[in-house]
């Protein structure tokens, strides 16, 4: 079975602890001499997996010069409300965009934070292939570790929209609180580095140091 799948990258964080926009941090130069920002890295992975890719941000103009024309930039109007609210708005805008293009809305939406330096194409492709095994009642397929879901690195089915919007209306802002009430499939994570998140200059430097060693 082949699903209609798209990707939504959330780039609305304030990056207060980092002291600068995390989406614009530069990864180490690759073997071909190119150096991507974290946002470009995330977009590249999503597109390399054949996913129509959207970037949702309160300040899309900040990133337009970095993104290929095939990435759709969406204006977030809920800045400061948190990623759960951003996901609800993102789903609505992705469905609306599909309707405007006379296309089908995606069955699954790969939702990614813009700051996942360890994310790789192989893992995303493995997760894509596993979607055929997801229960027909599950609203999402996400990594699970330390007794918590990893909500910004996994797939959400279109059937989550009603529950998601209801959670937002009920003033729920915690992914963990929302997902605890819903059927979710766990995705395998062979390397925990894939979920690595850098929120401070020290954490970012530690990642750069570990990348240099590898």
Structural domains of the chain sorted by starting position, each given as residue range(s) with its CATH number in brackets: 5-213 (3.90.550.10)
Q: What's the whole-number mean pLDDT along residues 17-24?
A: 88
Judged against a pLDDT cut of 70, whether residue 179 lies above it is answered with: yes
Helix (H) or strand (E) holding 98: helix 83-100
Do 175 and 33 form a contact (C-beta atoms < 8 A)? no
CA distance 206 to 60: 29
Task: Read off the pLDDT band of 32 (50, 70, 90).
Answer: low
What pLDDT does residue 78 have?
A: 85
Task: Read off the pLDDT band of 212 (50, 70, 90).
Answer: low
CA distance 61 to 125: 30
The CA distances from residue 4 to 110, 150, 158, 166, 210, in Å, are: 11, 22, 10, 24, 36
SS3 9: strand
**Which residues 6+ apart lie within 8 Å of 53 measured at CB?**
6, 7, 8, 9, 43, 46, 47, 70, 71, 72
Q: What is residue 117's DSSP assignment? A: T
pTM: 0.93
Percent of the chain at pLDDT exceeding 70: 96
What pLDDT does residue 137 have?
A: 96
Quick: pLDDT tens for 127-169.
999 999 999 999 999 999 989 999 999 999 999 999 999 999 9
**DSSP labels for 25-67?**
PBPPP-TTS---BHHHHHHHHHHHTT-EEEEEES-GGGTGGGS
* Residue carrying structure tokens 């596993």: 130
Do 164 and 88 form a contact (C-beta atoms < 8 A)? yes
What pLDDT does residue 79 have?
A: 80
The sign of the CA dihedral 120, 125, 130, 134 is positive
Do 108 and 2 form a contact (C-beta atoms < 8 A)? no
CA distance 111 to 93: 14
What pLDDT does residue 120 have?
A: 93
Which of these ranges, 82-86, 149-153, 187-191, has the smallest mean pLDDT?
187-191
The CA distances from residue 122 to 16, 48, 75, in Å, are: 31, 10, 30
Do 195 and 143 form a contact (C-beta atoms < 8 A)? yes
Judged against a pLDDT cut of 80, whether residue 205 lies above it is answered with: yes
Q: What's the whole-number mean pLDDT along residues 55-69?
A: 94
Task: Read off the pLDDT band of 31 (50, 70, 90).
Answer: low
């Amino acid at each position: 079975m082949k699903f209609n799948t798209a990707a939504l990258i959330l780039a609305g964080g304030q990056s207060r602890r980092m002291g600068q926009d995390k989406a614009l941090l530069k990864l180490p130069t690759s073997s071909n001499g190119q150096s991507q920002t974290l946002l470009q890295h995330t977009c590249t992975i999503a597109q390399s997996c054949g996913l129509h890719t959207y970037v949702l941000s309160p300040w899309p103009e900040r990133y337009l010069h970095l993104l290929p024309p095939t990435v759709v930039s969406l204006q977030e109007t809920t800045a400061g409300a948190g990623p759960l609210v951003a996901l609800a708005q993102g789903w609505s805008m992705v469905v609306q965009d599909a309707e405007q293009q006379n296309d089908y809305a995606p069955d699954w939406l790969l939702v990614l934070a813009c700051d996942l330096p360890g994310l790789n194409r192989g893992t995303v492709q493995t997760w894509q292939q596993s979607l055929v095994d997801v229960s027909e009642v599950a609203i999402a397929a996400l990594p699970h570790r330390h007794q918590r879901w990893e909500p910004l690195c996994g797939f959400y089915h279109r059937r989550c929209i009603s529950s998601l919007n209801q959670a937002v209306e009920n003033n729920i802002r915690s992914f963990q609180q929302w997902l605890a009430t819903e059927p979710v499939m766990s995705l395998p994570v062979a390397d925990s580095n894939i979920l690595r998140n850098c929120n401070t200059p020290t954490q970012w430097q530690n990642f750069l140091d570990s990348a240099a060693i590898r």
